């Protein structure tokens, strides 16, 4: 490894660092996708003021609106993955929280109480994950896989198998606003999501929480020997992930005021994991980057928007999605960077040799 | 025994890792019909040598000859094909398969319709009978028998593949006395059939019971090859640990013993502190300003006692008094809150948090005591990091470097800084000078003396007796997971005193 690095350091150091940063490639990918969309649909970048909603309107705005839920689950997932765990249940927890909120509204509960209770439900599910992983030492993959299946079932139990619709319930405006409203012209859910990401970031970096999470993810036994209580940390990250998934669930259901017990949050655990990986946090745990995951989350929303804009056949969307993600991951791979450097070096050598023979 | 040609000749074996010579020109000869032991303390290069012979590591220099043919091992498969079989400490068999399937794996008896399981199991029974394991049912699943029996099965398997050399890497560490005798019985059978056995164990009594020949390594270097029966224990121990006192003379001669006043109260006083399989109940008093040395060979219980004092392992018996008050120290967090700190011997796995910076590594224990939500103010943190990095002379002096990129000696200094930042009353240092260069070693030794001078109680655990004798006020001598003596380290005590104490004590033999 050491030998590799010294060979690589020949070029421009700032450019090199930019090129090897995951953030850079995520932003580049984001811009490339926007450019592609603009070529296909010249109105893609256009923004207009919608008098009815009191906010901006346009394809980019709907993309940001959709990204809010990804931001939430990607943030929770980042913390969990940093402890070298995984949370496969976020999509199902979204459905449970959404189902709970809709059902509470339909049964006539005050809207604020409904929001609070459904967040609590998400928190409790996260705590169950955390308790199983930390206290019983179960494998995160299995524990949260079971919660993923159980959560789907629980959502159906809550709504008695119905896709509960709270659209006609009076007094549910605050929840509606959370998903569809605007703050200073910007989608409210996006603003709320960004605020929460910043709060979590501050909590991690201004207290010792971030360092301890990373420490446990890097070396659990060594962390225990320093007096950290790894079990507490593990419990905490799963609990936070559950709570944030519940918020995502509210975003997802409140936009139509209806829960789809099968489709709400479906596959979103994969999107969250992808966002985290694109953001530069290793699946092996350790150092994490919340800003990286946030950009990853927006990128995921952008890929989905691109699929719609390009009018890709619905059957082919998963394949398109996969191709884009693979390309981004390949661009970020350190091996590719050393490989391209190697090719350049060889080319330089060849041209030198040619010059000599000539 | 008439000596014929050796089966395996390893000559001038050198293996380098980045920055370290793990082996430097080591020779090893294995004779058929002999049990040969590799001797040496941790880090001497025993396991590296075994890995060279089994093809796990490629050698950088030297030659390996098996039955007169020069060999180049590019992987474990090459070594196995050359007839070298290994039974590791952790049995590497398939616990979910039957005993017979494990014995015959890869050598199943085949018929026209694939494997003939009946014949395969019969064949397995034949091999088990040969090994005196006829009482085992080849059809029973492997995990239905004890770990000790599984090891014996692993040896039977080695016979199936017609091994010429059998390597047993610390096979006895988890066995009780009877199981060890079963193992030795089988080892003798295998030996008498003309196989060369390479045996690694840190139990001296076992070495003298079973082996014929010894090769002694120290710090990756070949010291000597001797016949077991011609080598007294004292001589063996001193060859293993070496006498490098001269190199470190700058710390000064043996320090004067700090006498404990009659009315002094110990910081820590434990009675009957013990844990099954780890260390037998032990009494110990540690006073302020005192350096207490734990001396003993690897596996003597010196580390285990340190871990119990810190709560890294939970004590099962005994009472723990801290400044006269009864406490129960069941985990590191509690220990640190009571101002007891322990620096591990296993720097890589239990010490450093590799991907965090030097600064974070220094602050993390103090932060853990304060709690997650009470961050250390930046100014105070800067001062702490700056102070200890200067005091301990950490190089490079950049607190934002990742600790994994520092040399071993500097990692060790950062870890000591971490514990000092918690202001411990009792600091337990387990092998703080292992695997680091002479300069850093001297600095750490000086730091130990300075800390005691300032009134801290220090427990100093080391495999280098010379260090222990030079730095300690009192020396606790351990053997076979038991404290066998407590020496007041005055002018009459030397390395030889400790070696004699260990060698002459046979009472604890597999108690």
Record: contact A227-B336, CB cut-off 8 A? yes
Closest chain A residue to the Cα of B342, Cα to Cα: A225
Cα angle, residue B311 at apex, residues A137 and B297 outer, rounded to 5°: 110
Whether B342 and B213 map to the same domain: the answer is no
Q: Which residues from chain A sit within 8 angstroms of residue B331, using beta carbons? A: 224, 229
pLDDT in tens, A222-269: 999 999 999 999 999 999 999 999 999 999 999 899 999 999 998 899
Query: Ramachandran region of residue B231, left (φ > 0), alpha (ψ -120 to 50) or beta?
Result: beta
Domain ranges of chain A: 56-337
DSSP state of B313: S
* Chain mean pLDDT for chain B: 86
pLDDT of residue B120 exceeding 70: yes
When CB atoms are compared, the residue of A226, A286, A287 closest to B368 is A226
pLDDT of residue A1 exceeding 60: no
Q: Is the peptide bond before B396 cis (omega within 30 degrees of 0)?
A: yes
* Most A CBs within 10 Å, among B20, B303, B362, B368, to test the A interface: B368
Distance CA A147, CA A86 (A): 12
Q: Is residue B29 part of a domain?
A: yes
**For range B354-360, the mean pLDDT:** 94
pLDDT confidence of B510, banded at 50, 70, 90?
very low
Q: Torsion angle of alpha carbons A157, A160, A166, A170, nearest 10°?
A: -100
Question: H helices within A136-182, ranges in order?
Answer: 140-158, 173-180
* Most B CBs within 10 Å, among A6, A226, A240, A287, to test the B interface: A226
Q: Which residues from chain A sit within 8 angstroms of residue B365, using beta carbons? A: 226-227
Q: Is residue B82 part of a domain?
A: yes
Residue A165 · residue A102 · CB < 8 Å: yes
Element (H, E) at A165: none
Q: Is residue B446 part of a domain?
A: yes
Whether B309 and B382 map to the same domain: the answer is yes
Distance CA B44, CA B47 (A): 8
CA distances from residue B470 to A4, B239, B287, B302, B504 in whole angstroms, order as listed = 44, 19, 18, 18, 22
pLDDT in tens, B57-82: 888 899 999 988 998 888 888 888 88
Between B341 and B248, residue with greater pLDDT = B341
Q: Which residues from chain B sit within 8 angstroms of residue A229, using beta carbons? A: 331, 333, 368
Beta strands in B42-180 (DSSP E): 61-66, 69-71, 84-87, 110-111, 114-115, 165-169
Whether B200 and B291 map to the same domain: the answer is no
Q: Is residue B492 part of a domain?
A: yes
Smallest CA–CA distance, residue B336 to chain A, in Å, is 7
Task: Return the CATH architecture of domain A56-337.
Answer: Orthogonal Bundle (1.10)
pLDDT confidence of A2, banded at 50, 70, 90?
very low
Least confident of A1-15, A24-38, B129-143: A1-15
Q: Is residue B403 part of a domain?
A: yes
pLDDT in tens, A141-150: 999 999 999 9
Smallest CA–CA distance, residue B479 to chain A, in Å, is 26
- Per DSSP, the three-state class of A29 is helix
pLDDT confidence of B243, banded at 50, 70, 90?
low
Question: H helices within B173-322, ranges in order?
Answer: 177-192, 204-210, 233-241, 302-310
**For range B104-123, the mean pLDDT:** 86
pLDDT in tens, B422-462: 999 999 999 898 766 666 777 888 889 999 999 999 999 98
* Chain mean pLDDT for chain A: 88
Please identify, among B206, B241, B276, the residue that sits at the C-terminal boundary of a domain: B241
- The residue segments making up the domain with residue B29 are 8-241
ipTM greater than cut 0.85 = no
Cα atoms in the 13 Å half-sphere on the side-chain side of A49? 4
Whether B218 and B325 map to the same domain: the answer is no
Least confident of A339-343, B133-137, B344-348: A339-343
Whether B410 and B364 map to the same domain: the answer is yes
Whether B365 and B459 map to the same domain: the answer is yes
Q: Are β-strands B35-39 and B213-218 bridged in parallel, bridged antiparallel, or unpaired?
A: parallel
Task: Using the CB atoms, write b or e for B387-411: b if 16+ within 10 Å.
Answer: ebbeebebeeeebebbbeebbbbbb
Domain count, chain B: 2
Identify the pLDDT of residue B154.
Answer: 86
Closest chain B residue to the Cα of A285, Cα to Cα: B355
Question: H helices within chain A, ranges in order?
Answer: 2-8, 13-20, 22-40, 59-82, 90-106, 111-134, 140-158, 173-180, 188-206, 209-218, 220-225, 230-254, 268-278, 290-309, 317-332, 334-357
pLDDT of residue B247 exceeding 50: no
Whether B218 and B338 map to the same domain: the answer is no
Distance CA B216, CA B226 (A): 8
pLDDT confidence of A85, banded at 50, 70, 90?
very high
Please report, for the domain that includes residue B98, its CATH number: 3.40.50.300
Q: Which residues from chain A sit within 8 angstroms of residue B368, using beta carbons? A: 212, 226-229
Identify the pLDDT of residue A290.
Answer: 95
**For range B268-296, the mean pLDDT:** 92
pLDDT of residue A310 exceeding 60: yes
Whether B162 and B186 map to the same domain: the answer is yes
Distance CA B167, CA B42 (A): 18
Q: Is residue B281 part of a domain?
A: yes
**For range B341-364, the mean pLDDT:** 92
pLDDT of residue A72 exceeding 70: yes
Record: contact A211-B367, CB cut-off 8 A? yes
Q: What percent of chain B has pLDDT over 90?
A: 43
Q: Which residues from chain B sit within 8 angstroms of residue A222, using beta carbons? A: 349-353
Record: contact A224-B332, CB cut-off 8 A? yes
Closest chain A residue to the Cα of B307, Cα to Cα: A225
**For range A159-187, the mean pLDDT:** 88
- What the block records as the tokens of A228 is 């950290």
**For range A19-23, the mean pLDDT:** 72
Whether B491 and B348 map to the same domain: the answer is yes
When CB atoms are compared, the residue of B18, B333, B349 closest to A227 is B333
Nearest to residue B201, comparing CAs of B277, B294, B133, B297?
B297
Q: Are β-strands B268-275 and B317-322 bridged in parallel, bridged antiparallel, or unpaired?
A: antiparallel
**For range B325-342, the mean pLDDT:** 95
Least confident of B131-135, B171-175, B401-405: B171-175
pLDDT of residue A3 exceeding 60: no
Whether B20 and B86 map to the same domain: the answer is yes
Q: Which residues from chain B sit within 8 angstroms of residue A287, using beta carbons? A: 355
Whether B201 and B252 map to the same domain: the answer is no
Identify the pLDDT of residue B424.
Answer: 95
When CB atoms are compared, the residue of A2, A214, A227 closest to B368 is A227
Distance CA A280, CA A20 (A): 11
Whether B275 and B231 map to the same domain: the answer is no
Between A7 and B464, residue with greater pLDDT = B464
Between A241 and A351, residue with greater pLDDT = A241
- Phi, psi for B115 (deg, rounded to 5): -75, 135
């Amino acid at each position: 490894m050491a030998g590799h690095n010294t060979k690589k350091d020949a070029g421009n150091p700032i450019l090199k660092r930019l090129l090897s940063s995951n953030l850079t490639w995520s932003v580049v990918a984001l811009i490339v996708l926007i450019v592609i969309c603009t070529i296909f649909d010249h109105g893609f970048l256009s923004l207009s003021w919608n008098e009815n909603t009191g906010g901006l309107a346009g394809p980019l705005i709907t993309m940001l609106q959709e990204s809010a839920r990804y931001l939430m689950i990607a943030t929770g997932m980042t913390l969990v993955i940093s402890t070298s765990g995984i949370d496969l249940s976020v999509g199902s927890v979204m459905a449970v929280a959404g189902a709970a909120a809709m059902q509470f509204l339909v049964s006539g509960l005050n809207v604020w109480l409904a929001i609070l209770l459904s967040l609590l439900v998400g928190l409790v599910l996260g705590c169950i994950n955390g308790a199983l992983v930390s206290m019983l030492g179960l494998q995160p993959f299995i524990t949260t896989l079971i919660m993923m299946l159980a959560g789907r079932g629980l959502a159906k139990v809550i709504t008695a198998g119905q896709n509960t619709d709270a659209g006609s319930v009076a007094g549910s405006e605050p929840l509606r606003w959370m998903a569809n409203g605007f703050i200073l012209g910007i989608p409210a859910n996006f603003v709320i999501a960004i605020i929460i990401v910043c709060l979590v970031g501050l909590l991690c970096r201004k207290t010792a929480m971030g360092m301890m999470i990373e420490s446990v993810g890097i070396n659990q036994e060594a962390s225990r020997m320093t007096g950290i209580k790894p079990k507490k940390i593990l419990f905490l990250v799963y609990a936070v992930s559950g709570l944030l998934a519940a918020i995502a669930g509210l975003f997802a259901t409140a936009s139509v005021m209806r829960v789809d017990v099968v489709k709400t949050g479906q596959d979103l655990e994969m999107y969250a994991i992808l966002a985290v990986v694109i953001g530069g946090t290793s699946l092996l745990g350790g150092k994490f980057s919340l800003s990286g995951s946030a950009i990853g989350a927006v990128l995921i929303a952008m890929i989905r928007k691109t699929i719609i804009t390009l009018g890709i056949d619905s059957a082919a969307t998963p394949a398109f999605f996969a191709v884009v993600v693979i390309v981004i991951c390949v661009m970020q791979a350190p091996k590719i960077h050393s490989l391209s450097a190697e090719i350049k070096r060889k080319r330089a050598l060849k041209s030198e040799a040619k010059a000599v023979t000539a | 025994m008439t000596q014929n040609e050796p089966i395996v000749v390893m000559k001038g074996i050198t293996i380098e890792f980045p920055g370290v010579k793990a082996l430097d020109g080591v020779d090893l000869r294995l004779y058929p019909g002999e049990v040969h032991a590799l001797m040496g303390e941790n880090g001497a290069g025993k396991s590296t040598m075994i890995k060279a012979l089994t093809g796990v590591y490629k050698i950088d220099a030297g030659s390996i000859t098996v039955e007169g043919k020069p060999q180049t091992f590019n992987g474990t498969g090459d070594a196995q094909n050359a007839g070298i079989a290994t039974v590791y400490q952790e049995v590497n068999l398939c616990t979910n398969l039957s005993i017979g399937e494990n014995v015959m794996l890869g050598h199943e008896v085949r018929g026209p319709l694939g494997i003939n399981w009946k014949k395969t199991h019969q064949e397995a029974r034949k091999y088990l009978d040969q090994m005196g394991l006829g009482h085992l049912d080849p059809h029973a699943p492997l995990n239905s028998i004890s770990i000790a029996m599984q090891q014996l099965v692993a040896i039977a398997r080695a016979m199936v593949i017609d091994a010429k050399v059998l390597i047993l890497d610390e096979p006895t560490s988890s066995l009780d006395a009877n199981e060890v005798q079963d193992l030795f019985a089988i080892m003798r059978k295998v030996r008498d059939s003309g196989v060369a056995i390479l045996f690694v164990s840190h139990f001296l009594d076992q070495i003298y019971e079973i082996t014929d020949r010894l090769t002694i390594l120290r710090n990756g270097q070949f010291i000597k090859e001797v016949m077991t029966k011609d080598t007294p224990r004292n001589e063996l121990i001193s060859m293993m640990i070496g006498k490098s006192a001269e190199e470190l003379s700058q710390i000064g001669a043996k320090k004067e013993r700090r006498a404990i006043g009659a009315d002094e109260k110990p910081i820590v006083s434990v009675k009957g502190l013990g844990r099954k399989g780890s260390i037998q109940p032990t009494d110990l008093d540690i006073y302020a300003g005192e350096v207490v040395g734990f001396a003993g060979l690897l596996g003597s219980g010196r580390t285990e006692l340190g871990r119990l004092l810190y709560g890294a392992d939970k004590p099962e018996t005994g009472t723990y008094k801290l400044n006269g008050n009864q406490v129960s120290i069941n985990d590191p967090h509690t220990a640190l809150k009571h101002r007891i700190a322990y620096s591990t011997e296993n720097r890589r796995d239990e010490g450093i948090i590799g991907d965090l910076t030097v600064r974070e590594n220094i602050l993390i224990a103090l932060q853990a005591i304060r709690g997650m939500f009470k961050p250390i103010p930046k100014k105070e943190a800067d001062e702490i990091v700056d102070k200890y990095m200067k005091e301990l002379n950490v190089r490079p002096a950049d607190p934002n470097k990742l600790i994994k990129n520092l040399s071993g000696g500097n990692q060790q200094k950062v870890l000591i800084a971490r514990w000092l930042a918690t202001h411990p009353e009792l600091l337990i240092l387990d092998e703080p000078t292992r695997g680091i260069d002479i300069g850093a070693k001297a600095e750490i030794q000086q730091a130990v003396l300075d800390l005691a001078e300032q009134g801290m109680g220090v427990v100093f655990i080391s495999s280098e007796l010379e260090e222990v004798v030079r730095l300690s006020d009192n020396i606790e001598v351990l053997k076979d997971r038991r404290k066998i003596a407590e020496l007041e380290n005055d002018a009459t005590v030397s390395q030889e005193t400790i070696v004699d104490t260990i060698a002459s004590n046979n009472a604890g033999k597999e108690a």
